[in-house]
Copies of this chain bind each other. A is one copy, B any other.
C-alpha cells in the first residue's frame, strides 16, 4: 500500500499539495500574530511536517522524514515564502483553504497509518500513528505560538474524521492481507477513504456539526 501510494502520480501530487497547503496555513498563523520571517518559515515547516516527525520518532524511523526529505522541506519553505508575499489573498480564499486543509487531513491520516502498517505495527498502533501524523503538526505549531490547539478551539469535527480515516485504512489493509481485495482496488479504496474524511470535515464545518461534551446532570448520586 505504501508503495501504491508513493508511486502513484496522483497521490504524489496531492501529498505535495497537502504539504504546501499546511505550510501556508502555518505561515498564516504566524503572520496573524505579527512574527518575523524566520518564525513564519518555522511555523510553516512545523505545521506541514511536525506530524510526520512525531510519527517517525514513535516508530523509531530515525532521523524523521521531516528533516531528511529535501522535497518536503523545500516545499514548506516555498509555502512560507508564498505566505509572506500573498497572505492577503490566501486569507480571502477561506473555503479553498478549508478544502485543501481537509484534503491534507485525509491524506496524512491514510499515509501515516499506511507507513506504520508497513513498519509492522498492529492495527491499534497504526491508528494512533496515523492520527499523530494528521494532528500533531498543527498541535505543535499552536503550542509554539501560544494558541489553544486548533483541534480543541475548532468546535467542528477535526480529529474524528481523521480517526475514522485511520480505522478504515487499517481495515482495507487487513482486507488485502486476507485476500478480499487486490492491490489495485486497495488503492481505489484508499482514495475513497480520503474522500470520506474530506466529506465529514466539510459537512461538519458547513452544517455546524459538533461533538457533545460531558453529560450534564443536576443530581449527584453520593451521600
Number of copies: 3
CB contact under 8 A between A35 and B152, given known A57-B57, A89-B221: yes
Question: Counting CB contacts under 8 A, is A206 at the interface?
Answer: no
Q: Chain B contacts of A64 at CB under 8 A?
A: 58
Please, how many residues of chain A have a CB less than 8 angstroms from a CB on the other chain? 59
Q: Chain B contacts of A145 at CB under 8 A?
A: 152
Q: A124 touching B68 by the CB < 8 A rule?
A: yes
Q: How far is the CB of A75 from chain B (nearest CB, A)?
A: 13
Q: A39 touching B89 by the CB < 8 A rule?
A: no
Q: Chain B contacts of A53 at CB under 8 A?
A: 58
19 A-B pairs whose Cβ atoms sit less than 8 Å apart in the complex: A31-B213, A35-B213, A37-B213, A38-B160, A42-B159, A57-B58, A58-B63, A58-B64, A60-B63, A63-B121, A63-B125, A70-B124, A73-B124, A84-B215, A85-B214, A88-B217, A88-B219, A89-B220, A144-B152
A residues at B contact (CB < 8 Å): 31, 34-40, 42, 53, 57-60, 62-64, 67-68, 70, 73, 83-85, 87-89, 92-93, 121-122, 124-125, 128-129, 139, 143-146, 148-149, 151-152, 155, 159-160, 163, 210-215, 217, 219-222
